[in-house]
Amino acid sequence: MTDTIDEPTASGEDPAGVELHPADESTPANALAPDELVVLVPDVLADSIGDYTRAWWKRIRSGESGALPIIIGLVVICIFFEVQSSAFLTATNIVNLFVQAAFIVLLGMAELYALILSEIDLSVGFVGAVGAAIAMALIEAPQNWPWWAGVIVGLAACAVIGAFQGTIITRLKIPSFVVTLAGLLGWQGVLIYVFDVDKGAVGGVITISNNVISDLVSGNMTPWAGWILLVVLVALFGITSVLKTTRRRAQGLSAPPLSITLLTVGAVAVAGVVLVYICNLNRGALTPVEGVPWVIPFLLVILVLQTVLLGRTKLGRYTYAIGASPEAARRAGINVSLVRTIAFALCSFTAGLAAIVYASRLGSISVGFDGGTYVLYAVAAAVIGGASLFGGHGKPIHPLLGGLVIATLTNGLALLNISTAGTDIATAVVLLVAVAVDSTLRRRGRSGAV
């Protein structure tokens, strides 16, 4: 199939393959060059590794860079910090880095729902905090609810808040920026109110004594459990990937070459082994501390759930459709208001999960929660990772990668004893560079084609 990749298709200037009309030399400006058509879909056009690599490289050059630049950027940043400080690539610090990243990653995943809709939610920080504060107030003395009951109520509160904001946005047709800006102010007030009401809060702080909640981030799996979980996950991923590829081929549908699938599974397995190995090293000074922190599988579960929700359900499909063209979605018979409201509810719900992770890491949640800044980090994480501010694009992996970049910067610069001022400036530069690289690649892709 090499010819489909490097040469114009047999049907000449008419890639849709309706009868060829040699008289029509004047290819319209909006006609698609066959070459362009091909570069967008390496996965479905290549039959061998060689083809795949070539098509993939073409796609990168045409601006559909995917996650590659951000991964390269992450590696470069890591090398830089390792050269500067030998403390950077230690087991303690790497695990610490993931733990630090978890909150921003989750908050970025929350923001992703709004970004795909071509909207923004400025309230995710405080909405999440309100939910977490409610949960903690219920779980801790004097209420002493079971941890799960408190979490359910807290997350439900978040979802209700999100649905409420989403309803205002869709029914009253007020821009999400305005509604959630009001939310940014208002829910901070509600947060303070929760601390006022809760008799267990001391000096505006609810301290967490519940083991389950604090173990979410501070607790570790036993080393063996970590390995077993890894084997199970890689096996599941490998089996489903291979089955999917072979089934598609059996149906006569195009699919990536089996070798590519196997390589992907292999790469995931290697990355997983490295991660689990590092986590299982003893990183305690006096008493041994080892094992994968629970927050890592927790993040993975949320990542998988969100990926399935956005990629494999009607709700997800409609969210992308509305983000690109609400009018097209409406004409397709989609209940646009309902889908948007649900997406805002999911956004706030995920923010609640993020804030619970935050509280678990600090062992407390305080009235001083800086939701205004965190929401900006959440947007930055999603955008650095590759989600678009213009709607219709973005996958859960994007805030994950972007959140890791931000956490790595914060962590590394702190190791170099650089002030908060320096960290803020560095994060700003990385955000700009990431977006600039992305848009430059895209623009070159647009003008380079045709």
Binding site for other proteins (CB under 8 A): 4, 11, 13-19, 21, 24, 26-32, 36-38, 40-41, 43-45, 247-248, 251-254, 308, 312-314, 317, 320-321, 323-325, 327-329, 331-334, 392-393
Task: Between 90 and 245, name the residue whose CB sits nearer to other proteins.
Answer: 245
Do residues 417 and 87 lie in contact, with contact meaning Cβ atoms separated by under 8 Å?
A: no
**What is the dihedral sign for C-alpha 275, 374, 435, 116?**
positive
CB of 394 to other proteins, least distance (A): 10
Cα separation of 252 and 265, whole Å?
23
Task: Between 61 and 393, name the residue whose CB sits nearer to other proteins.
Answer: 393
CB of 52 to other proteins, least distance (A): 14
CB atoms within 10 A of CB 105: 30
Task: Between 20 and 149, name the residue whose CB sits nearer to other proteins.
Answer: 20
Do residues 39 and 15 lie in contact, with contact meaning Cβ atoms separated by under 8 Å?
A: no
Task: Between 26 and 287, name the residue whose CB sits nearer to other proteins.
Answer: 26
CB of 171 to other proteins, least distance (A): 19
Task: Between 313 and 419, name the residue whose CB sits nearer to other proteins.
Answer: 313
CB of 317 to other proteins, least distance (A): 6
CB of 10 to other proteins, least distance (A): 11
Task: Between 61 and 317, name the residue whose CB sits nearer to other proteins.
Answer: 317
> Token pair 């997800």 is at which residue?
316
Q: Which DSSP state fits 389?
A: T
How many whole angstroms from its chain centre is CA 102?
Answer: 11
CA distances from 297 to 146, 303, 361 (A): 22, 10, 15
Cα separation of 260 and 242, whole Å?
10
**What is the dihedral sign for C-alpha 302, 304, 308, 310?**
positive
Type of residue at 218: S
CB of 392 to other proteins, least distance (A): 4
CB of 395 to other proteins, least distance (A): 12
Task: Between 118 and 427, name the residue whose CB sits nearer to other proteins.
Answer: 118
CB of 140 to other proteins, least distance (A): 38
Type of residue at 284: G
Q: Strands 205-207 and 364-366: what pairing?
A: antiparallel
First to last CA, the chain: 22
Task: Between 38 and 106, name the residue whose CB sits nearer to other proteins.
Answer: 38
Radius of gyration, CA atoms only, the chain: 24
CB of 76 to other proteins, least distance (A): 30
| Residue 321 parent element (H or E) | helix 314-324
Q: Secondary structure of 26-72 in the HEC alphabet?
A: CCCCCCCCHHHHHHCCHHHHCCCHHHHHHHHHHHHHCCCCCCHHHHH
Do residues 218 and 361 lie in contact, with contact meaning Cβ atoms separated by under 8 Å?
A: yes
